[in-house]
Amino acid sequence: MRVAIVTVGDELLAGDTVNTNAAWLGERLTERGVDVERVVTLPDRVADIARVVNEYRAAYDAVVVTGGLGPTHDDLTMDGVAAAFGRDVVESQAALEWLAEEGGYAADELAEGTADIPRGARLLKNPEGVAPGCVVGSVYVLPGVPAEMKAMFETVAEEFAGEVAHVTTVVADEPESALLDRFDELRDRFDVTVGSYPGDSVRVKIQGDEDEVETAAAWLRERVDLAVEGDGGE
Amino acid sequence: MRVAIVTVGDELLAGDTVNTNAAWLGERLTERGVDVERVVTLPDRVADIARVVNEYRAAYDAVVVTGGLGPTHDDLTMDGVAAAFGRDVVESQAALEWLAEEGGYAADELAEGTADIPRGARLLKNPEGVAPGCVVGSVYVLPGVPAEMKAMFETVAEEFAGEVAHVTTVVADEPESALLDRFDELRDRFDVTVGSYPGDSVRVKIQGDEDEVETAAAWLRERVDLAVEGDGGE
């Protein structure tokens, strides 16, 4: 299963907010065996949201959109997603009922647009807030407030599934350039993918079938200077 | 000036690493009056990098690419950017001279590929590391290690410039939905853009011409319950 994550918000583009939502979703989806193929951040503009959601829903098995929900003038994600499907947004009876039952809000107390989702979309209730999410086709629309996004994602997490790769990390206390010969031999000898992430030490991430990964990691651990804090095995 | 940021790395997609580079670049570019229109994260794959860089260099005034530099097998950004321009990568004499002079590295000590950049590209020296960056057309290629990325960006920062908007933030201690009428009036009365970012309190970001923004902010401050920690004026 190949998925794209779309995060909406001028504050993300301007660097006012670090995109921790994308990292959290990437981690949760990867844990479930899903390949996250793209993360994109878009401005609060209907045309941009519509165009990119439309492109990504054609290219990937599912699209997770987060941010820009709510009744404020700069909350344009529902409009953008609706436009990507050539639909309008309509007040959702299911959302109104949920807001009345679980929030105690009467329809006339709610700000205009609070219960609007694209026509025909499946409602996603918000366990931590008032803004509803939804699913349209393969596009999941979640709030941007992290606690709300996480709680709502968990209500649909089981709809995301794939083959979970086994991962082990070896942390080497050598310059990355010195390790290149061993990376090449590791990739020749074993059927694994190898990622190398330099920092103060080099994290070597080995992925694939469990037995193969553990054999490869053991081989590598005997051939590098391991970082002091341990071998970082996960 | 409209700019896109392209961050490359499987570790970003999988949420192993939070994309602080994108936030830092977004903030620095916005400070310089540049509109950041897109941030995208791509996997370590040449075809994906080539396709997106090619699309973005046609759509935006400049593209800043970060991550995936170096001699490791999963460092594919130079290949991807070169492919976006229909060029190959070649060993840069300027890079070899810089590495010899400032790093004391002889050419035969360097891992294969260390000095490779797309043919005809302008070299960007790395003040904090060994991996060179480059500029090809309107595409700036920077390392992914944050200290190296920041130091290299500063060497070209002056090439990014636009009209700097004045920004003031008012922090309101009211629910966002209760503020909608005042947002509407604010936008009717003043020639400003208004962003609303809910959290424990609501940050209202007002942007535009300085006098207009300050007049609008003063108007709003008289009409909302200000958050206790002050009005957040920037």
The two three-digit tokens of residue B94, written as one number: 């300027």
For residues B20 and B107, membership in a common domain is answered with yes
For residues B144 and B203, membership in a common domain is answered with no
For residues B33 and B12, membership in a common domain is answered with yes
Last residue of a domain, one of B140, B159, B178: B159
For residues A113 and A199, membership in a common domain is answered with no
| CB contacts, 8 Å: A11 with chain B | 195, 197, 205
For residues B152 and B183, membership in a common domain is answered with no
For residues B29 and B79, membership in a common domain is answered with yes
For residues A76 and A188, membership in a common domain is answered with no
Last residue of a domain, one of A159, A190, A213: A159
Beta-carbon separation of B11 and A197 below 8 A: yes
CB burial of A70-101 (b: ≥16 within 10 Å; e: otherwise) equals bbbebbbbbbbbbbbbeeebeebeebbebbee
The count of structural domains within chain B is: 2
pLDDT of B151 = 98
B191: in domain:
yes
Burial class (CB in 10 A: 0-12, 13-18, 19+), B222: exposed
A132: in domain:
yes
Reply yes or no on whether the pLDDT at B234 is more than 60. Answer: no
For residues A186 and A129, membership in a common domain is answered with no
Tally A–B CB contacts below 8 A. Answer: 150
CA B88 to chain A, closest CA, distance in angstroms equals 22
pLDDT digits (tens, 9 = 90+) for B194-213: 999 887 889 999 999 999 99
Ranges of residues in chain A with a pLDDT under 50 are 230-234
CATH, residue B96? 3.40.980.10
pLDDT of B88 = 97
Beta-carbon separation of B40 and A38 below 8 A: yes
pLDDT digits (tens, 9 = 90+) for B24-75: 999 999 999 999 999 999 999 999 999 999 999 999 999 999 999 988 989 9
Last residue of a domain, one of A129, A159, A189: A159
For residues B118 and B171, membership in a common domain is answered with no
Residue A226 to residue A224: CA distance in whole angstroms: 6
B231: in domain:
no
| CB contacts, 8 Å: A41 with chain B | 22, 38-40
A207, containing H or E segment: strand A202-208
pLDDT digits (tens, 9 = 90+) for A148-197: 999 999 999 999 999 888 999 999 999 888 899 999 999 999 999 999 98
Picking from A59, A125, A43, A68, the residue whose alpha carbon sits closest to that of residue A92 is A125
pLDDT band at residue B233, thresholds of 50, 70 and 90? very low
pLDDT of B229 = 61
B207: in domain:
yes
Domain limits at B178? 166-221
Residue A51 to residue A36: CA distance in whole angstroms: 20
For residues A188 and A80, membership in a common domain is answered with no
B152: in domain:
yes
Tell whether ipTM is more than 0.95: no
For residues B23 and B48, membership in a common domain is answered with yes
For residues B144 and B170, membership in a common domain is answered with no
Hey, of B8, B20, B41, which one would you mutate to test binding to chain A, going by the most A CBs within 10 A of its CB?
B41
pTM of the entire predicted model: 0.92
